[in-house]
Each structure stands twice: as C-alpha cells, then as structure tokens.
Amino acid sequence: MIRFDAVTKEFPDGTVAVDDLSLTAPTGKITVLVGPSGCGKTTSLRMVNRMIEPTRGSIALDGQDTGRMDQAELRRGIGYVIQHAGLFPHRTVIDNVGTVPRLLGWDRKRTRERSRELLERVGLDPHLADRYPAQLSGGQQQRVGVARALAADPPVMLMDEPFSAVDPIVREQLQDEFLRLQDELGKTIVFVTHDIDEAIKLGDQVAVLRVGGTLAQVAEPSYLLAHPADDFVADFVGRDRGYRALQFQDAPRLPLRSEHTVVLGEPPGRTDAAWLLVVDDERRPLGWVEPSRIGDRAVEDADLHRGGTVARAGGSLRGALDAALSSPSRRGVVVDDSGSLVGTVLAHEVLTAIEDTDRPERDEGDPVHGGAVATPQDGG
C-alpha cells in the first residue's frame, strides 16, 4: 500500500506542482492519477520513488516512510516504467531487462533465465533477446520496459504514461495485455495518464487531479462516471458518460430471440427476412447478408456485411446495446463464451434493462465524499 500524507511539492521558482495531496493506493490494485497538464500527476508519481523530493508531507510504503530509506535501495524495490521506455541503447534487450537483478547482485545465469521468462511473459518473441533497442518498434520497446520493471519482482510499480507514445492500435493491445498481466501478478500500481478513457479502462481506482496539484475526486471508475464531484471533474470525464458507464454494468438476463441462420457456403433458402445471419459450422456468427441480393446461389464471403459488433451473454449492457445499434438488421447478436450464437436482442429491450438497473448509489464508492472503497485487507 502507498499512502500520500499531505504531500506538497513547491519548486524554487514558486510553482506549486502538488498541493496537500492525501491519497491511498491500495495493495494489489491499480490506482490511476489522471488530469490535465500541470495537475501534478507525474510529479506525484515521481515523489514515490524520490526522483523528486516532497517539500512537505510524507509518503509511506506499507507503513514505512520513504523519506527515511536509502534512495537507491528504495528504487530497486519499485518497478519504474516511463514513456518512451528509457531503455539503455548500448545494451541488448536481455541485458536491459536484467538491470535490476544485476544491481541486486544476482548471478548472470539466474538473471538471464529470469529475463527470458519475463520477455515471454510480456509477449515478446524470444529471438529479440539479443537485439538492441534501436532495432525494436515502439510497442516492442515499451514491452521491454515493462519486463525490465518486473524483473526483480517488485511489489510496487510506477508507470508514467507508458502507453502514450505508441499508436492507438498498439496502445489498445498493450492495455489489454497489461490488464491480463496484472490479473496474474497482482502488483500495487500507480499509473499516470492524461487520457481519461485509459484511466477508466485500467484503473481500479481513479484519482482526478486539478491544475495546481489538488485532488478533485478519487473513486472507482463507474462511480466517477455516474457521480462526478464538481464541474471540473464532470468536464474532464467528458461526454458520453452515460454510455461509457454502461461498460461497468453487467447485462442482466436479456430476452433473447432465436435467429434463423444460414451456413456460409449454402444458399439462403426461402425467407422473407431483409437480413439473414450467416454462421460457420460451429454456429459462430460471421456477418449479415441480404437474401434478396443472393437469390438461389450459395452465400459467399464477399456478400458478408460485417458492420455489427457481437455481444457476450453475461457481458456488459454497453456491449449489448452496441451490438443492437451497430447491426444492419437492428438485431444485436449475442454469443456465449465459446463464440457460438445464443440469440439476438433488440435495442429497446436493452434500454428497458438499463432503466430497470440501479445506478451506483451515492456515498457507496467515493472515499472522498465519505464512502469507503472496498479493498482486500492491506499489509503483508
């Protein structure tokens, strides 16, 4: 657990970057610091591993005041990932990953084994181990950066906009893999980003900071979307709040209707439907076709209309609503966990389900406004 206790950072020229910040980052959870430029999020992060020293206040790691610890030893116990990875260009990938273990005195063999293991964990091809950072793409470099941070298995990770410097497609992949990794590892993570959507996607707890370094609100993402504390937070969280909040609400049992289907490669058969769902031999949906254009011949790949998204049964309301809205037939496709068709749902049915669902209650998920964030026991 990381605890900020009335932390303030004032620079010699008078700028107050962080103002009286008190915040707890629970063990084993991802706490995201988010806010506009100048809100002190990066400064706050860098005070945890003392890359910047607080002017007032203290930061405690599992109860121990970081200010009293040896700087270098403190940092060796914290994983540090920055934008642009900051890899050492003169060392190979595998040597980069092994940096902290070597600093801690591990022998070469053990370090190399561990490094290889981590490279695999972050999804990198093992033959990249002996390459140099300059030969890697941005996304690959970032993965190496994460592997390096994990090498000595630190309980705490600090991440400063680690996914901002890559393009959106790569960013999404990295985010998904990061969540998967965290599922396996359960580290205590403080993550900084300027992107509210990233914050909502990744955070167990999101702290919104204002310009001038004050804390505006800290809460679970769903709560933040539903109950922004003031105009600044509301503005920052942005539009489509209602829609985006739906991703946190599981779809209750939606009324599903069965759907006539045709298997790819067979003719549509007699039907009055304007749109027909095409599946493969395992009943996995492939797309929609218009029988009127096909007539008696077999349905081919080129006929498929792939515009609709597919929702998982038991997934979120957002997924279900989007499936209905995006489908050309206006019937949202729902599948089970193996991807096989379960049925379809109409938009108004989803909306009815939404209206019947309770919104997160005020004071339930907002520690700043008197509630408690449910966390597992801290310590150890």
Partner 1 sequence: MIGSLLAWFTDPANWSGDDGIPYRLWQHLWYTAVTMLVAALVAVPLGLWVGHTGRARWLVSLANSVRAVPTLGLLLAASLWLGPKLPGDLAYVVPSIGVLAILAVPPLLAGTYGGIGAVDPSARDAAYGVGMRGRQVLWQVEVPNALPLMMSGVRSAVLQVVATATIAAYLGLGGLGRFIIDGIKLGDYAEAAGGALLVALLAIGLEGLLAFVQRRVVSPGLTGRAVGGSRNDDEREGREDPADATVDLRTPA
How many CB atoms sit inside 10 A of residue 360's CB?
20
Of 51 and 263, which CB lies nearer to partner 1 in the complex structure? 51
305 lies in the site for partner 1, by CB under 8 A:
no
C-alpha to C-alpha distance for 2 and 258, rounded to whole angstroms? 51
In the region spanning residues 48 to 107, those forming contacts with partner 1, defined by CB under 8 A, are 49, 51, 72-77, 80, 82-92, 99-100, 103
Q: Which of 3, 29, 114, 148 binds partner 1 (CB under 8 A)?
A: 148
Residues in contact with partner 1, counted by CB under 8 A, come to a total of: 41
**Closest distance between partner 1 and the C-beta of residue 77, in Å?**
8
C-alpha to C-alpha distance for 64 and 59, rounded to whole angstroms? 8
Q: Is-contact 189 221, C-beta < 8 A?
A: no
Of 96 and 193, which CB lies nearer to partner 1 in the complex structure? 96
Q: Which of 25, 166, 189, 354 binds partner 1 (CB under 8 A)?
A: 166
**Closest distance between partner 1 and the C-beta of residue 76, in Å?**
4
Of 170 and 234, which CB lies nearer to partner 1 in the complex structure? 170
Q: Is-contact 206 41, C-beta < 8 A?
A: no
**Closest distance between partner 1 and the C-beta of residue 353, in Å?**
39
Q: Which stretch binds partner 1 (CB under 8 A): 109-117, 126-134, 179-187, 260-268?
A: 126-134
Of 141 and 344, which CB lies nearer to partner 1 in the complex structure? 141
In the region spanning residues 167 to 186, those forming contacts with partner 1, defined by CB under 8 A, are 167, 169-170
44 lies in the site for partner 1, by CB under 8 A:
no
Q: Is-contact 323 333, C-beta < 8 A?
A: yes
**Closest distance between partner 1 and the C-beta of residue 184, in Å?**
22
**Closest distance between partner 1 and the C-beta of residue 215, in Å?**
24
**Closest distance between partner 1 and the C-beta of residue 50, in Å?**
10
C-alpha to C-alpha distance for 370 and 362, rounded to whole angstroms? 10
C-alpha to C-alpha distance for 335 and 240, rounded to whole angstroms? 26
Of 81 and 226, which CB lies nearer to partner 1 in the complex structure? 81
Please say whether the dihedral angle defined by the alpha carbons of residues 294, 300, 306 and 311, taken in this order, is positive or negative: positive
In the region spanning residues 332 to 361, those forming contacts with partner 1, defined by CB under 8 A, are none
138 lies in the site for partner 1, by CB under 8 A:
yes
Cα 336 to its chain centre, rounded Å, is 23
Nearest to residue 125, comparing CAs of 103, 143, 149? Answer: 143
Q: Is-contact 350 324, C-beta < 8 A?
A: yes
Q: Which stretch binds partner 1 (CB under 8 A): 4-12, 110-118, 124-132, 178-186?
A: 124-132
What's the chain's Rg over C-alpha atoms?
25
Tokens of 77: 């116990």
In this structure, the strands spanning 78-82 and 205-209 are unpaired
Nearest to residue 134, comparing CAs of 94, 172, 91? Answer: 91
What phi and psi, each to the nearest 5 degrees, are found at residue 146?
-65, -45
Q: Residue numbers of the site for partner 1 (CB under 8 A)? A: 49, 51, 72-77, 80, 82-92, 99-100, 103, 125, 128, 131-140, 145, 148, 166-167, 169-170
